[in-house]
Structure 1
Amino acid sequence: MAQKKETKSLRWLIPVALLSGFAGFLVYLDSLDPEGGERQPQTTTGPEKTPEKDRDGEAPDFKFYEMLPDSEVATPDIEAYRPDESESERNLEYILQAGSFQTREDAERQRAQVGFQGLRARISEVSVDDGGVWYRVMVGPFDSRSRMNQAVDRLVEINIQPLVRRREAEDEG
């Protein structure tokens, strides 16, 4: 019984010894020079080589340091956006066109998708010159650009790129 207990305790010693030997072998391989022979520890007794010099001892020739101050980038003169005063005085509203379809079923499907985003949409029929009818999915009207932008963000989240239309607000009265 004592011998059986002794072999169990030595059984884990063999894999540990093998792993230790393998790790030591890897450390030894790392210390070898690739050209053969052992690597010597590097000691510096003379002046250190500066990184500006390449292997031949010559300084690299960077011309862009000289060219950069002489070069000039011309930028176009662009005026800052200033809202038109007449635009702010007018009573405008914004409408988003979320799609235009040849069949009413496709337009209804798009209207439902827009409705799931919490936006009210309606379908308007438009006759074209060749006698056909297109069904437009319209969202709005919005009385401010910020509300219109919030609706645009919701539509873009579901991969709908709306067309923004602006018109004079109809007086309610």
Structure 2
Amino acid sequence: MSQRDYVSRGRTPQKKQKNKKTTGNARNNAGPLPAKTVSWVAVGVVIALLVGFAYFLWSIKDNVEPDGVQPLAKKPVAVEDELPELPQEEWEYIKTLPGYEVEVDVAQQEKSDKRYLMQCASFKTRAQAEEMRAKIAFQGMEAQIRRSDGDNGEWFRVILGPYDAKRDAERAKHALRKVNITTCQIWFWNL
């Protein structure tokens, strides 16, 4: 089979269609719309079938013949010997469980000499920092605003702490997360 080069062949120019505005007369000349005609014969046949079916159902309801179905004979229930009384079961664990205690060695949490702080925001203006501090105060926590100067200007940091354990800082972080303050980070206290 020979190969054809469809790319170099190019495209055939398409004919431009003229925009014709249709007038009311042009629409009417296109021909009448097809009319929906219902065959009265078909409607009559359907109605006749429905009436005939209804008559059939009405006529057979009175002609019900009883089938020769007889109830099953009841078998006499054989009286079986009564079962012996169940022996009383005794479980040993009921008696031994209250006196049984397991001792678990729990390692004490080591006291860290490091303290933690939680920074929740850093703003260019003191007013924004005060606003964040007020949101935190509504949660029953006391925040501080610390000013820090750096290469990129003056910043106002909103911090909480110091916390002796990181677990305490995490607890405060989760409480603030519930009120949609999600920017808090926990660091070592080295101010």
Say which one has the larger Rg: 2
Instruction: Give the TM-score category using the shorter length.
Output: 0.3 to 0.5
Q: TM-score, normalised by structure 1?
A: 0.43
Flag the structure with higher helix content: 1
